[in-house]
């Protein structure tokens, strides 16, 4: 039965094409210009259709070879369209004769042959769609410029003489390139389905025949030109058919084959029984028995299909092309709850959303209505806290076309969380190695500083008495534009600042080592919080005042003493203040402002609240979600490593506190640190 159906379908297809070709030939006898326009428009539509199918099916193609061809044929079709408009007799480009359409033709064929030669390279190589588009746009623009603007494209046809040598040689060169593309394809034969491979080879062979036909004509309306256009249209159709067969492969398409065959057998048996009931009454019982057997087989087939559906742990739905629910497995009924129990026979949007028409922007609805495969991720339909992957599988009918669609819903929440944890673990491992290396590299030069500071202090103690004696003789002595007394005091103060900075570096290095080798804890001492905060403000003031117009500090005089890890607290404040200073696109904007507020929580005893607020560029939701992730930064490569806020978050947690962040894009950011003091 299948062989007979195939033979009938093949005969119909051959007959149809024969009638089309004969009709086109008769059209050429009536009006060659009309024939040429019809054939070229057919090829152009095929080219554009090839692009449309390849582009829309790009997500589930076996390889990107066909996507590259689809993009190529979009631009080849565009050149052919200009060729049609320029053809002799169309009148679109006055003053031009046969040479212009011949130039456009040969340029389009060069573009086509080179594309077919290059395309196999993308079977095993990822395609960068933007670069391919830009390359073809530039190529076509250059071709059109050489023909219409610069007029430097070689002549291809001379009136009265026929084709030029350049045109004839080009046809042979193009044929040679096409032969090369066939050789290239044979090297990748194993990467193609057998039928698709021979469709591609046949298309290229027919294209070669077309090119050779175009080497003989001496008139744009000659027989050789006619044959060449016929062969070109056939080659385009074969490419189109190859891309259709490669792009529209449908999983689950054989699930219903047995069921459909049983239904067809049953219908055939019913028809035979109706015809024979009056003539052979004696055989009627036997026919009825056979009919019942087929019905039982059909019921068993349906039951088996339903059991297969129910045996799958993920929700499965069967929709027809009108989005009507035909079957749900047990998992789907459980997934949708009460709505799932009464859903059969209803459209999905009516059953689950109580709508009168399909939902806007619904990927399932658009995929079913367009008859294509679909695959996307979404928030849980029934539980927005979950993540789901939805796949739409079109099921092809035996007679052709898509009759039903299987929808599979998979819960991918755990796998996504596992994936994120793996990424986080990798980041943490990298962070440990990085911190260990940074600590070592910073510690060495800092040792030089810390060792030399006492020596420099001793030098100053020796030199200063001499300077003091000299200053007594010259009371107006100034050094570095400062009175001597001020200079003397500033020199020792600078030395103290350097020593404080060195100790700060050493403390930070010790903290970094603590990150790479957790388990080392600092001794917590009771300290006065106000001087500790003021010291950080003094340290960061120059950076803030260079970036921000207004810097406000609010520290109460009665800030209590508390047992905290002072170095941790200082590092948190420094990071938050420097981060706030860098939250502005323009330095010293008149409206730029940073506020530091330190206070005790009035509602809870012994709770310290630190707030750093700016009115800078702010953050969007995506940035807010990742702001404390290691190595995540929105700054340039020179601007940050993405570790500052990550370290702040960890330090606050190690101090037993919590950090909160609020931000609005374009309005500013507020970081709040809350610490429970002992």
DSSP 324-383: BEEEE-HHHHHHHTHHHHT-TTSBHHHHHH--SSPPTT-HHHHHHHHT--EEEEEE-SS-
Query: CA 293 to CA 13: how far, in whole Å?
Result: 37
Mean pLDDT computed over every residue of the chain? 76
pLDDT at 565: 77
pLDDT one-digit tens code per residue, 57-70? 777 665 678 788 88
Query: CA 144 to CA 399: how far, in whole Å?
Result: 45
Residue 107 φ then ψ, to 5°: -70, -40
pLDDT one-digit tens code per residue, 68-85? 888 998 999 899 899 889
pLDDT band at 187 (very low <50, low <70, confident <90, very high): confident
Task: Considering only residues 534 and 218, tell me which one the structure prediction assigns the higher pLDDT.
Answer: 534
The rounded radius of gyration (Å) of the Cα atoms in the chain is 40
The number of beta carbons lying within 10 Å of the beta carbon of residue 247 is: 22
Residue 395 has pLDDT above 50, yes or no: yes
Query: CA 421 to CA 413: how far, in whole Å?
Result: 12
Query: CA 541 to CA 534: how far, in whole Å?
Result: 10
Query: CA 663 to CA 609: how far, in whole Å?
Result: 18
pLDDT band at 97 (very low <50, low <70, confident <90, very high): confident
Judging by DSSP bridges, how do beta strands 525-528 and 561-564 pair with one another?
Answer: antiparallel
Q: Which residue has the tokens 């039903």?
A: 404
- Decide if 595 contacts 550 (C-beta within 8 A): no
**% of the chain at pLDDT higher than 70:** 75
Query: CA 124 to CA 191: how far, in whole Å?
Result: 9
Helices and strands (DSSP H and E) totals, the chain: 20, 16
Tokens of 412: 């991918």
Residue 3 has pLDDT above 50, yes or no: no
pLDDT band at 210 (very low <50, low <70, confident <90, very high): confident
- Decide if 64 contacts 126 (C-beta within 8 A): yes
Residue 621 φ then ψ, to 5°: -65, -40
**Which are the contacts of 361, defined by CB distance < 8 A and separation ≥ 6?**
none
Residue 251 has pLDDT above 50, yes or no: no
Query: CA 78 to CA 82: how far, in whole Å?
Result: 7
pLDDT at 665: 86
Name the least confident of 89-93, 243-247, 618-622.
Answer: 243-247
Sign of CA dihedral 28, 33, 38, 43: positive
Residue 419 has pLDDT above 90, yes or no: no
Side by side, which strands form the sheet with 387-396?
325-328, 316-320, 402-411, 387-396, 374-379
Query: CA 25 to CA 2: how far, in whole Å?
Result: 34
483 beta partners: 478
Helix, strand, or coil (residue 641)? coil
In whole angstroms, how far apart are CA 10 and each of 1, 14, 18?
A: 14, 6, 12
Tokens of 474: 């010259």
Q: Which fold has domain 312-411?
A: Beta-Lactamase (3.30.450)
pLDDT one-digit tens code per residue, 552-575? 888 887 777 777 777 778 888 888
**% of the chain at pLDDT higher than 90:** 5
Query: CA 63 to CA 249: how far, in whole Å?
Result: 13
**Which are the contacts of 322, defined by CB distance < 8 A and separation ≥ 6?**
347
pLDDT at 638: 46
User: Around 83, how many Cα atoms within 13 Å sit in the side-chain half-sphere?
Assistant: 27
Name the least confident of 43-57, 256-270, 462-476, 482-496.
Answer: 256-270
Task: Considering only residues 293 and 375, tell me which one the structure prediction assigns the higher pLDDT.
Answer: 375
Tokens of 525: 């001492």
Distance of CA 381 to the CA centre of its chain: 23
Residue 55 has pLDDT above 80, yes or no: yes
Residue 609 has pLDDT above 80, yes or no: yes
Residue 93 has pLDDT above 80, yes or no: yes
Task: Considering only residues 656 and 678, tell me which one the structure prediction assigns the higher pLDDT.
Answer: 656
pLDDT band at 137 (very low <50, low <70, confident <90, very high): very high
Q: What is the DSSP string of 210-275?
A: HHHHTTS-SSTTSHHHHHHHHHHHHHHHHHHHHHHHHH---TTTTTTHHHHHHHHHHHHHHHHHHH
Query: CA 388 to CA 386: how far, in whole Å?
Result: 7
Residue 197 has pLDDT above 80, yes or no: yes
Tokens of 18: 């024969």
Query: CA 118 to CA 547: how far, in whole Å?
Result: 54
The pLDDT of 407-425, averaged and rounded, is: 71
Tokens of 388: 């789901």
pLDDT band at 141 (very low <50, low <70, confident <90, very high): very high
Task: Considering only residues 282 and 230, tell me which one the structure prediction assigns the higher pLDDT.
Answer: 230
562 beta partners: 527
Closest by CA to 235, choosing from 183, 187, 169, 181, is: 181
**Which are the contacts of 445, defined by CB distance < 8 A and separation ≥ 6?**
none
Query: CA 248 to CA 548: how far, in whole Å?
Result: 59
Residue 404 has pLDDT above 70, yes or no: yes
The pLDDT of 421-449, averaged and rounded, is: 66
For domain 521-678, is the CATH number 3.30.565.10? yes
pLDDT band at 143 (very low <50, low <70, confident <90, very high): very high
Distance of CA 425 to the CA centre of its chain: 24
pLDDT at 1: 45
pLDDT at 146: 93
Tokens of 543: 């950076």
Closest by CA to 270, choosing from 295, 252, 246, is: 295
Query: CA 411 to CA 392: how far, in whole Å?
Result: 15
Sign of CA dihedral 255, 55, 207, 233: positive
Which CATH class, in words, describes the domain spanning 31-247?
mainly alpha
Query: CA 70 to CA 65: how far, in whole Å?
Result: 9
pLDDT at 29: 66
pLDDT band at 298 (very low <50, low <70, confident <90, very high): low
pLDDT band at 421 (very low <50, low <70, confident <90, very high): low
Query: CA 347 to CA 368: how far, in whole Å?
Result: 12
Closest by CA to 226, choosing from 38, 48, 83, 100, is: 38
Closest by CA to 678, choosing from 610, 600, 606, is: 606
Residue 408 has pLDDT above 60, yes or no: yes
The number of beta carbons lying within 10 Å of the beta carbon of residue 231 is: 20
Tokens of 240: 């189109």
Residue 179 has pLDDT above 80, yes or no: yes
The pLDDT of 159-167, averaged and rounded, is: 83
- Type and span of the H or E element at 396: strand 387-396
Query: In 659-678, which positions are buried (b, 16+ CB within 10 angstroms) versus exposed (e)?
Result: beeebeeeebbbbbbbbebe
Query: CA 194 to CA 183: how far, in whole Å?
Result: 16
Query: CA 47 to CA 73: how far, in whole Å?
Result: 5
pLDDT at 252: 34
Tokens of 118: 């290059």
Helix, strand, or coil (residue 547)? helix
pLDDT band at 259 (very low <50, low <70, confident <90, very high): very low
When mean pLDDT is compared over 24-38, 53-67, 194-208, 260-274, the highest value belongs to 194-208
């Amino acid at each position: 039965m299948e062989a007979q159906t195939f033979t009938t379908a093949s005969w119909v297809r051959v007959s149809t094409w024969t009638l089309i070709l004969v009709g086109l030939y008769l059209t050429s006898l009536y009006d060659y210009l009309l024939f040429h326009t019809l054939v070229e428009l057919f090829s152009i539509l095929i080219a554009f259709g090839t692009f449309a199918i390849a582009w829309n099916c790009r997500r589930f193609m076996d390889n990107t070879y066909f996507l590259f061809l689809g993009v190529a044929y979009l631009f080849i079709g565009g050149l052919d369209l200009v060729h049609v408009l320029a053809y002799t007799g169309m009148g679109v480009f006055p003053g031009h004769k046969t040479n212009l359409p011949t130039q456009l033709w040969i340029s389009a064929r060069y573009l086509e042959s080179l594309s077919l030669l290059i395309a196999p390279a993308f079977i095993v190589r990822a395609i960068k769609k933007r670069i391919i588009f830009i390359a073809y746009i530039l190529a076509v623009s250059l071709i059109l410029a050489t023909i219409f603007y610069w007029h430097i494209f070689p002549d291809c046809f001379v009136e009265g003489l026929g084709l030029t040598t350049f045109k004839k040689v080009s046809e042979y060169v193009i044929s040679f390139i096409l032969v090369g593309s066939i050789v290239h394809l044979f090297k990748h034969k194993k990467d193609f389905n057998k039928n698709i491979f021979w469709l591609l080879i046949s298309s290229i062979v027919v294209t070669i025949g077309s090119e050779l036909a175009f080497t003989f004509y001496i008139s744009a309306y000659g027989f050789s030109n006619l044959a060449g256009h016929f062969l070109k249209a056939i080659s385009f159709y074969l490419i189109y058919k190859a891309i259709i067969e490669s792009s529209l492969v449908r999983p689950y398409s054989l699930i219903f084959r047995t069921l459909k065959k049983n239904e067809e057998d049953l219908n055939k048996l019913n028809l035979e029984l109706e015809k024979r009931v009056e003539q052979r009454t004696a055989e009627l019982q036997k026919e009825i028995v056979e009919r019942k057997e087929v019905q039982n087989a059909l019921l068993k087939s349906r039951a088996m299909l339903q059991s297969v559906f129910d045996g799958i742990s993920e929700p499965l739905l069967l929709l027809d092309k009108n989005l009507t629910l035909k079957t749900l497995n047990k998992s789907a009924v459980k997934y949708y709850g009460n709505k799932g129990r009464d859903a059969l026979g209803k459209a999905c949007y009516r059953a689950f959303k109580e709508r009168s028409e399909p939902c806007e922007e619904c990927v399932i609805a658009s995929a079913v209505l367009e008859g294509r495969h679909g695959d996307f991720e979404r928030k849980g339909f029934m539980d927005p806290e979950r993540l789901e992957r939805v796949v739409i599988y079109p099921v092809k009918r035996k007679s052709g076309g898509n009759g039903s669609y299987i929808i599979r819903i998979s819960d991918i929440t755990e796998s996504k969380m596992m994936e994120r944890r793996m990424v986080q673990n990798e980041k943490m491992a990298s962070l440990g190695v990085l911190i260990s290396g940074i600590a070592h590299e910073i510690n060495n030069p800092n040792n030089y500083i810390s060792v030399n500071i006492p020596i420099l202090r001793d030098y100053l103690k020796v030199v200063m008495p001499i300077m003091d004696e000299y200053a007594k003789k010259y009371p107006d002595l100034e050094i570095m534009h400062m009175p001597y007394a001020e200079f003397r005091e500033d020199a020792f103060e600078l030395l103290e600042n350097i020593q404080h900075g060195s100790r700060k570096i050493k403390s930070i290095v010790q903290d970094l080592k603590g990150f790479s080798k957790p388990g080392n804890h600092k001794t917590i001492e009771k300290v006065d919080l106000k001087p500790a905060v003021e010291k950080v403000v003094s340290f960061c003031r120059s950076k803030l005042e260079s970036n921000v117009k207004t810097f406000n500090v609010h520290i109460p005089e009665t800030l209590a003493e508390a047992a905290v890890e002072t170095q941790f607290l200082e590092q948190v404040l420094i990071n938050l203040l420097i981060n706030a200073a860098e939250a502005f696109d323009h330095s010293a904007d008149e409206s730029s402002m940073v506020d530091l507020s330190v206070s005790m929580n009035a509602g809870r005893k012994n709770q310290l609240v630190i707030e750093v607020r700016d009115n800078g560029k702010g953050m969007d939701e995506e940035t807010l979600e990742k702001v404390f992730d290691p190595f995540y930064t929105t700054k340039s490569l020179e601007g940050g490593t993405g570790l500052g806020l990550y370290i702040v978050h960890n330090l606050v947690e190690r101090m037993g506190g919590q950090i909160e962040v609020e931000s609005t894009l374009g309005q500013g950011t507020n970081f709040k640190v809350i610490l429970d003091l002992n």
